[in-house]
Amino acid sequence: MKKILLHIILVLFCASLHANIKVAADSAYAIENYNIAIENYKQLLENGKHADVYYNLGNSYYKMGDIARAILNYERALTLKPWDDDIQHNLELARNKTIDKIVPQSEMFFVTWIKNLIASLTMDVWATISIVTFIITLILLLLYLLSNKLVIRKISFFTSIFTLILCASSIIFSWMQFNRSKNRSEAIVINSAVDVKSTPNLTGTDVFVIHSGTKVEIVDDTMTEWKEVRLQDGKIGWLRTNDIEKI
């Protein structure tokens, strides 16, 4: 009993502390003391990832003129709330302030559509959809087996096929989102101007230059001080690890 009471007290204390830090961060942001707001929002994130906190942190960096870290935190918020219009809007505003305007490689329209569909919801939401559609499928199959009316049997049978396909798709999408979050390979350039090298060495040839706020994909993460990255237009080169920060 004492352990349970201590656990409850500890949970309440942590919740109260979290709330106080949140109030302090929001208050600092309201009076345009963005440095204090940033420190408080970072402290909140030490106890777990929260889309709203990442979003507010991104706003604070945006107000400070640090567009790269604003984009970084908007991207992190979007991984937790991909359907949030405010996050998407502010991310687009920040991207418009970056120097590099990279045109992604062309791909078949349906591939882009499927990727956007998968990214529109989180792993947990896709998993929930799969569970719900599986239950609906079972109910429809029971109706098909137990009903004496031909119309109900036909409707329940064909609808169950549709819900079963939706269930299977949701499971696959949830698995793909899980792998994406587990093996996150995207990063944001945080330094103002970076020379991308042909080899992982300072003496390597400069292939091209990219600027802060640009999103890259890490294709080789095996080295400590260097990462091989690919841009959305297909260009590949090596960057120093401290030039980028993973989403």
Q: Which of 7-21, 107-121, 177-191 has the lowest average pLDDT? A: 7-21
More confident residue, 181 or 22: 22
Q: How confident is the model at residue 13 (pLDDT cuts 50, 70, 90)?
A: very low
Check residue 5 and give its pLDDT. Answer: 47
The percent of residues above 70 in pLDDT, for the chain, comes to 92
Tell which CATH architecture fits domain 186-246: Roll (2.30)
Check residue 109 and give its pLDDT. Answer: 81
Please give the single-letter amino acid code of residue 189: V
Q: How confident is the model at residue 9 (pLDDT cuts 50, 70, 90)?
A: low
Check residue 134 and give its pLDDT. Answer: 97
Nearest Cα to Cα of residue 49 among 86, 17, 81, 5: 81
Residue 113 CB contacts under 8 Å (≥ 6 apart), including other chains:
none
Q: Read off the DSSP letter of residue 230.
A: E
Q: How far apart are the first and last CA of the chain?
A: 43
pLDDT at 11 over 80: no
CATH class of 2-95: mainly alpha
Q: Which of 14-28, 103-117, 123-137, 214-228 has the lowest average pLDDT? A: 14-28
| Phi, psi angles (nearest 5°) of residue 224 | -80, -45
pLDDT tens sequence across 126-140: 999 999 999 999 999
pLDDT tens sequence across 29-57: 999 999 999 999 999 998 888 999 999 99
- Overall average pLDDT of the 209-236 stretch: 94
Check residue 104 and give its pLDDT. Answer: 83
**How far is it, in rounded angstroms, from Cα 113 to Cα 131?**
24
Q: Which of 107-116, 164-173, 198-207 has the lowest average pLDDT? A: 107-116
**How far is it, in rounded angstroms, from Cα 218 to Cα 78?**
19
